[in-house]
Structure formats: structure tokens, C-alpha cells
């Protein structure tokens, strides 16, 4: 499959120019694997439980903004070492000469899962497609195939990436002839951090023990990497993503991604300060929302989301930092603080977040266009905008694309 690569030359924060090789996967195509949808700066992990960041510019949550875990006695269900700290630096033999060797992790045992690895085979002479030159920004797509030889279930995933990346997105490629939402493929997960576990540190609350996602054997995949090199040396496109199997007999709650796009026809004039939305996506069956985060670009100053039931809106998510949007988990062992707009502190719902048929999920983005051009729904981080709600849900399929 043909891929799109866009390179932006950046020096001391100034954008010098953009060059794109476009084709059938044009980067500004609405919803293309949501490859354009996650452009947040990644941050170093420290394995700690999180209290969250403060004002924009504070990385705050090193692994994406999870709040404190309420019950320290909860057991981990994944690989050894996944409980209490993020697995790192597992590849003692790796000495590539590039930054970020410590993010390499070993794959699961073959009977426990598989690893998707994107990176060069020869570090002494890497293929140019894996190199990001000083001052360059890239948005690239790589093909891969899942390592499961038979249909499986999974939920626990580990994402690791070399420094310089804005996002990693993994998608099951759409079947030939697919239309509508199915034409974009099915997202299998992603991260906006150099090291991220889903669920966080593999802490599984009792109500989520039966949660799983299905994956067909040898599924064709797309791995989207967005990188920027602010150093004076070349860096590498390289990621390690582990999928850990879940026994099919244990899966009683099939999960899928919540994915709701708003503002597809936005046209925000220079200097305009406006709010996009609120957009509304209906809930057609009972269930729960497991995780949630917003994606928006550099001219947005606030992202808010609500559950609406019988006309009553209840805040479930709010964030103010476009380059480090937090991921909130909603379960019985995670305590999320309320948001504080005055102090620009993110926050949201605490506890399990149930939804019922007839509810709706609403979200909006407050945008202040500080550019000289009209902001539209495009990939450009500084010269385009998005207003997208993403997460995992059990029960309903919550997917919308709204103007």
C-alpha cells in the first residue's frame, strides 16, 4: 500500500517549509486512520503514579495523565515486571549509536503474545526511511502484519518509542471495498508517550477482568509515526509494541474504540476566538466507557466532554494543554480529580463511567486562531485544527464524524 510522508523543516521553533509526497493516503484526508489526529509531544516515563500537570507547558503526567490509583493492592495480570513500573531497557545487546536504546523491550513469549517492531535491521547503515534528519518533522506510515497465527483476544498493550515522536498509532487495515467509517480501518491502539502501557501498568480493576478486544489471524496493520528532530544529530523512526493475549474463555466484555470527530468543516478566521461544538454522538446500548482523551492542535485552549442523560450534562473530561492531553481511565481503582479551569488543571469523572441507551456523549473545543490563515480540519499542527474524542468502550459503538 502506498504511504504518505510529509516533512516539515523546523529550526529554533520556526517552520521553514513543508514538503509532502501525497497519494491515496493523503495526510489531510479526513479521518485517515486518525493518523493526523494525535500530535502531542511525548514525555519521558518514570513509572510513578500520577497527579497530573499544571499549566500548559508542564509535562505533568509522564505517561499521559492518568490519575492516582486508589487501591495499591490490585494485582497486575500481565508480564513480570509490568506492575508498579514501566518495563524499559530490556535489550542489553542493543547498542545502535542512536538515542533511545533504553526504550527497547523484549517481545512476549510466542504463546503469550507478539511484538510489532518498526525499525532498521542494520543500525550501522539504516534504510533512509527510518532516519529523521536534524530540523525535520515527518508523518510516515509503515505496513506490518500481526504476529498471531489464529484469531485471538487481547487488551494489555505496551508501547515504546524512541525520542522525537509525537504519536504512534496502530490500525488494522480496512478490507478492500470497505466504505464509510470502515474504510478507515480499525484502530488497535496508540500512544502519545515514549513509554505507555494500556491499561496503565496493567492494573485491572475487578469490573474489567472480562474486557478484551478481538484480532483476526495475521491481520494487515498500518503503523503511523509522527516525529520531529530538534537535535543536531539524526534520530530513528523506531517503535516496539507488545500485544498480550487474553484467554478467549475469559472475555465476557468485548471492547472497541470510541472515536468521534467534530469540526470537519471548520473555517476559523485569523484572530477569531470561538468554540467548536458542542458535538453530540448518540449512545445506542448500555455499557461503560473505559478510557477517554481529546485530540486538538496548537490553537485550541480547551477540550471538554460530557455524558448527557435525560437532558442533564455531567462533565467527564476536560483538558487545556494541546501538546500533552491526558488519558483518563474510568474504573473502581482510579481516582481522577475534578478539572480546574482557573488553574488550567485537567480532570474529569471518577469511578466507573456507565452509559445507557438514549444517552449521548458531547464534546467541544475552544479555539483561538493565532495564525495569519484560516484554520481548517487538517493535519498541520500549527496551521490546522482538530476536535476529536478518543477512548475505549464496552457495549456501545460510539463513532461519529460531524461537520
For 232-263, write each residue's pLDDT tens digit: 999 999 999 999 999 999 999 999 989 899 99
Question: Per-residue confidence at 84, pLDDT binned at 50, 70, 90?
Answer: low
**Cβ pair 182, 175 in contact under 8 A:** yes
End of a domain among 237, 252, 267? 252
- 231 and 260: one domain? no
Is 152 in the same domain as 33? yes
What pLDDT score was predicted for residue 322? 81
Mean per-residue pLDDT of the chain = 81
Q: Of 340 and 196, which is predicted with more confidence? A: 340
316, 306 Cβ separation under 8 angstroms: yes
pLDDT at residue 186 is higher than 90: no
Assess whether 192 and 114 both reside in one domain: yes
**Same-domain status, 232 and 334:** no
* Confidence (pLDDT) at 180: 53
Looking at 252, 285, 304, which one is the last position of a domain?
252
Same domain, 284 and 237: no
Question: Is 248 found in the same domain as 287?
Answer: no
Tell me, yes or no, whether 178 and 240 share the same domain: yes
- Is residue 244 within 8 A of residue 106, CB to CB? The reply is no
Same domain membership, residue 129 and residue 102: yes
| pLDDT at position 73 | 37
Q: Is residue 81's pLDDT more than 50?
A: no
pLDDT at 196: 86
Instruction: Assess whether 222 and 274 both reside in one domain.
Output: no
367 lies in which domain range? 255-401
CATH number (domain holding residue 264)? 2.60.120.230
Enter the DSSP assignment of 346: -
Q: For residues 212 and 270, state if they share a domain.
A: no
Are the beta carbons of 155 and 178 closer than 8 angstroms? no
Same domain, 302 and 159: no
Q: Over 90: is that where the pLDDT of 28 sits?
A: no
Based on the structure, what is the number of domains in the chain?
Answer: 2
The verdict on 99 and 225 lying in the same domain is: yes
Last-in-domain residue among 252, 273, 293:
252
Q: Which residue has the higher pLDDT, 60 or 364?
A: 364
pTM metric for this prediction: 0.77
**Adjacent-strand bridge partners of 76:** 203
Which residues does residue 197 pair with via DSSP β-bridges, in sequence order?
158
Amino acid at each position: 500500500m502506498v504511504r504518505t510522508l510529509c516533512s516539515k523543516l523546523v529550526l529554533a521553533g520556526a517552520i521553514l517549509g513543508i514538503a509532502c509526497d501525497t497519494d491515496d493516503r493523503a495526510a489531510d484526508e479526513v479521518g485517515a486512520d486518525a493518523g493526523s489526529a494525535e500530535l502531542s509531544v511525548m514525555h519521558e516515563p518514570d513509572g510513578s503514579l500520577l497527579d497530573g500537570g499544571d499549566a500548559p507547558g508542564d509535562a505533568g503526567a509522564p505517561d499521559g495523565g492518568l490519575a492516582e490509583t486508589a487501591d495499591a493492592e490490585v494485582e497486575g495480570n500481565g508480564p513480570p515486571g509490568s506492575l508498579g513500573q514501566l518495563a524499559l531497557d530490556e535489550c542489553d545487546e542493543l547498542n545502535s549509536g542512536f538515542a533511545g536504546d533504553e526504550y527497547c523491550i523484549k517481545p512476549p513469549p510466542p504463546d503469550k503474545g507478539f511484538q510489532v517492531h518498526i525499525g532498521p535491521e542494520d543500525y550501522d547503515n539504516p534504510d533512509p526511511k527510518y532516519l529523521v534528519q536534524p530540523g525535520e518533522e515527518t508523518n510516515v506510515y509503515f505496513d506490518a502484519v500481526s504476529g498471531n497465527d489464529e484469531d485471538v483476544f487481547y487488551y494489555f498493550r505496551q508501547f515504546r518509542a524512541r525520542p522525537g515522536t509525537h504519536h504512534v498509532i496502530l490500525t488494522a487495515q480496512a478490507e478492500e471495498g470497505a466504505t464509510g467509517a470502515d474504510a478507515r480501518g480499525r484502530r488497535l491502539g496508540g500512544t502519545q508517550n515514549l513509554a505507555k502501557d494500556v491499561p496503565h501498568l496493567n492494573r485491572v480493576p475487578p469490573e474489567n477482568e472480562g474486557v478484551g478486544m478481538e484480532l483476526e489471524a495475521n491481520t494487515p496493520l498500518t503503523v503511523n509515526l509522527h516525529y520531529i528532530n530538534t537535535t543536531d544529530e539524526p534520530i530513528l523512526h523506531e517503535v516496539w509494541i507488545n500485544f498480550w493475549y487474553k484467554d478467549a474463555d475469559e472475555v465476557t466484555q468485548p471492547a472497541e474504540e470510541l472515536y468521534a470527530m467534530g469540526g470537519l468543516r471548520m473555517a476559523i478566521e485569523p484572530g477569531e476566538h470561538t468554540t467548536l461544538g458542542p458535538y453530540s454522538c448518540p449512545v445506542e446500548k448500555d455499557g461503560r466507557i473505559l478510557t477517554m482523551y481529546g485530540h486538538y492542535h496548537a490553537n485550541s485552549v480547551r477540550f471538554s466532554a460530557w455524558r448527557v442523560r435525560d437532558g442533564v450534562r455531567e462533565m467527564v473530561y476536560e483538558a487545556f494543554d494541546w501538546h500533552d492531553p491526558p488519558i483518563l481511565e474510568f474504573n473502581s481503582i482510579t481516582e481522577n480529580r475534578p478539572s480546574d479551569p482557573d488553574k488550567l488543571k485537567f480532570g474529569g469523572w471518577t469511578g466507573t463511567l456507565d452509559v445507557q441507551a438514549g444517552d449521548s456523549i458531547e464534546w467541544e473545543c475552544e479555539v483561538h486562531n493565532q495564525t495569519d490563515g484560516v484554520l481548517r480540519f487538517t493535519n498541520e499542527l500549527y496551521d490546522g485544527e482538530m476536535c476529536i474524542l478518543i477512548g475505549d468502550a464496552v457495549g456501545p459503538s460510539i463513532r461519529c464524524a460531524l461537520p
